[in-house]
Amino acid sequence: MSNAVASALRSPWLHLVLRVLLGLYFVHASLAKIADPPAFARIVYQWQVLGPISSNLAAVTLPWVELVSGALLIVGFWKQDAAVVVALMLAVFLVAAGLVLTRGIDVVNCGCTSVAAATTPGGWPPAWTQGVGWYLVVRNLLMLGAALVLGFVEPRTATEGSTP
């Protein structure tokens, strides 16, 4: 890795932006799932990666882990630990998405940020962002990269220059 890239990844400003954006995404993603665990359990089961009991357990616990991890990233407490938890969740989501894609399972709503039925034609967000497909994989890989930077790259300190 070049010195310029290493220096950029250690930027306190970059860490702040990544923390807040990733934290906001995970807090937002958790709210609908917390509000309607049965609907989220149906979505988890639709992925056909977990059985019915495991799907129910995931539907009840996962949104709370997302909420707490996201909130910790936003406020900056235990930020490295929260980022590692987020990275682990994203890695699991990516493996599950790979299984779904490989097996050709049609998941219309990934359950990432909503437990509502799929959007209507011309609705928002676009249907191609809702299911399990390449958009989901690329988005999760980008978020995984951000979480890994936050979890394993130390930002520069005030004595090293440039603080937010």
Average pLDDT by consecutive 10-residue portion of the chain (164 residues)? 82 94 96 93 88 89 97 96 97 94 85 70 65 89 97 84 52
User: What pLDDT, on the 0 to 100 scale, is given for residue 105?
Assistant: 86
Does residue 163 lie in a domain region?
Answer: no
Does residue 50 lie in a domain region?
Answer: yes
CA–CA distance, 140 with 66 (Å, rounded to integer): 14
User: What pLDDT, on the 0 to 100 scale, is given for residue 128?
Assistant: 66
User: What pLDDT, on the 0 to 100 scale, is given for residue 64?
Assistant: 97
Does residue 33 lie in a domain region?
Answer: yes
Does residue 34 lie in a domain region?
Answer: yes
| Domain span including residue 94 | 3-153
Phi-psi region of 48 (alpha: psi -120 to 50; beta: other; left: phi over 0): left
Does residue 164 lie in a domain region?
Answer: no
Closest CA to 109 of 133, 90, 92, 93: 133
Closest CA to 70 of 13, 28, 113: 28
User: What pLDDT, on the 0 to 100 scale, is given for residue 46?
Assistant: 85
> Would the CA dihedral through 33, 30, 86, 133 be positive or negative?
positive
Does residue 123 lie in a domain region?
Answer: yes
Does residue 162 lie in a domain region?
Answer: no
CA–CA distance, 47 with 18 (Å, rounded to integer): 29
User: What pLDDT, on the 0 to 100 scale, is given for residue 5?
Assistant: 82
Does residue 161 lie in a domain region?
Answer: no
CA–CA distance, 47 with 74 (Å, rounded to integer): 30
CA–CA distance, 87 with 97 (Å, rounded to integer): 15
The total number of structural domains in the chain stands at 1
